[in-house]
Amino acid sequence: MEVLMSTPNKRDLVIIGGGPAGYSAALYAARASLDTLVVEQGMPGGQIATSDMIDNYPGIEQCSGAELGQKMQSHAESAGAQSTYGSVQSLTRHESGFTITTDMDSIEAKSVIVATGATPRPGNFSGEETYRGRGVSYCATCDGMFYRGKHVFIIGGGNSAVEEALYLSNLADQVEIIVRRDVFRAPRGMVDRLSAKPNISIRYQTSITEVAGSTFINAITFRDNATGETHVESYDEGSVGVFVAVGHDPATSLVAGLAELGPDGGVLTDEHMGTTTPGLYCAGDMRSKSLRQVVTAAADGAIAATAAYHYIESLSA
């Protein structure tokens, strides 16, 4: 990824976030001959970069999230988009456009697409923050290697929890999925894949209410959601881990005051991904939407870039 350092940079379009929405937008914008810059704070691909396997993106039967993210970045850059690392600190609107302030630079833009995705939702159990990184994790691909041969619990009943369990089953000695209800939210086809893994088991109608220990976790408190009863299970310290996979919250702090939010915390947009601020578009998992997938994020990005192109053209009309 090329790092650009000129101060201030002036661009037609700045895209904040280098995930599927961001790089899809960058591809369409660059093909429309817009001077386009993507600002990404981590790996290309955003959240999908932490996924071990993507198998539901049309045309690509199987691909790691990191590989797909890199392909998206390369495709956009081959069309003329540019990329830079940086953590965006603020986004402001002024008469001539927008100012994007990062930890390294200040960038001026005629239009902005924000595609900052979503952040992992907490499990809301006692000790979660205390043992974050010391037995509590939110990313199997990132941290699974630390639990090779160990006993891991996965909290959640959706797609993410099933995917985490399947990945961790190849590393951990024992994998238990903690489902608070009596049924998974994930599609049956995904859940059926769990039965092929002899080291995966499921605890229905169960919640983890507390983790405790010394340097690492050595005790977990479980609640039976049907009866309300709780019990504590003890383990050798460092032999157990808890992975939280209960969904994500849209990352919308950058557009506070510039866009309206929906009931799910995501940004409300029109069909062109436009917000209440002219020239500002939002795309991907940060939007208020019913389905957050790679394919829907990529579609959002294409729509947002096309709308941004027409907006920028109207400024000189």
User: For residue 187, what are the contacts with CB-CB under 8 A and spacing of at least 6?
Assistant: 159
Q: Closest Cα partner for 100 from 88, 118, 114, 86?
A: 88
142 included as an active-site residue:
yes
Sequence letter at residue 38: V
CA distance 281 to 113: 5
The pLDDT assigned to 55 comes to: 79
User: For residue 250, what are the contacts with CB-CB under 8 A and spacing of at least 6?
Assistant: 117, 118, 264, 265, 266, 267, 285, 286, 287, 288
CA distance 233 to 184: 24
The pLDDT assigned to 50 comes to: 76
The pLDDT assigned to 6 comes to: 41
The answer to whether 276 and 303 have CB atoms below 8 angstroms apart is no
CA distance 166 to 313: 48
Q: Give the chain's end-to-end CA distance (angstroms, integer).
A: 34
Query: What is the token pair recorded at 144?
Result: 């699974």
CB atoms within 10 A of CB 184: 20
The answer to whether 54 and 31 have CB atoms below 8 angstroms apart is no
Specify the pTM: 0.81
Residue of 55, 103, 142, 264 with catalytic role:
142
Residue of 105, 143, 224, 249 with catalytic role:
143
CA pseudo-torsion sign 27, 30, 34, 39: positive
Question: What are the two backbone dihedrals, phi and then psi, of residue 49, each rounded to the nearest 5 degrees?
Answer: -65, -20
The pLDDT assigned to 3 comes to: 44
CB atoms within 10 A of CB 188: 8
143 included as an active-site residue:
yes
The answer to whether 247 and 161 have CB atoms below 8 angstroms apart is no
Helix (H) or strand (E) holding 89: strand 88-94
The answer to whether 202 and 192 have CB atoms below 8 angstroms apart is no
Helix (H) or strand (E) holding 313: helix 294-315
CB atoms within 10 A of CB 53: 15
pLDDT of the chain, 317 residues: tens digit per residue: 444 444 458 999 999 999 999 999 999 999 999 999 999 998 888 888 877 778 788 998 888 889 999 999 999 999 999 999 899 999 999 998 999 999 988 999 999 999 999 988 999 999 999 999 899 999 887 889 899 999 999 999 999 899 999 999 999 999 999 999 999 999 999 999 999 999 999 999 999 999 999 999 999 999 999 999 999 999 999 999 999 999 889 999 999 999 999 998 999 999 999 999 999 999 999 999 988 889 999 999 999 999 999 999 999 87
Please give the C-alpha separations between residue 289 and each of 159, 193, 261, 271, 308, in angstroms, as whole numbers: 16, 27, 11, 12, 20
The answer to whether 176 and 153 have CB atoms below 8 angstroms apart is yes
Residue of 52, 63, 139, 224 with catalytic role:
139
The pLDDT assigned to 4 comes to: 47
Please give the C-alpha separations between residue 246 and each of 17, 86, 184, in angstroms, as whole numbers: 23, 28, 12
CA distance 104 to 119: 23
Query: What is the token pair recorded at 189?
Result: 């086809």
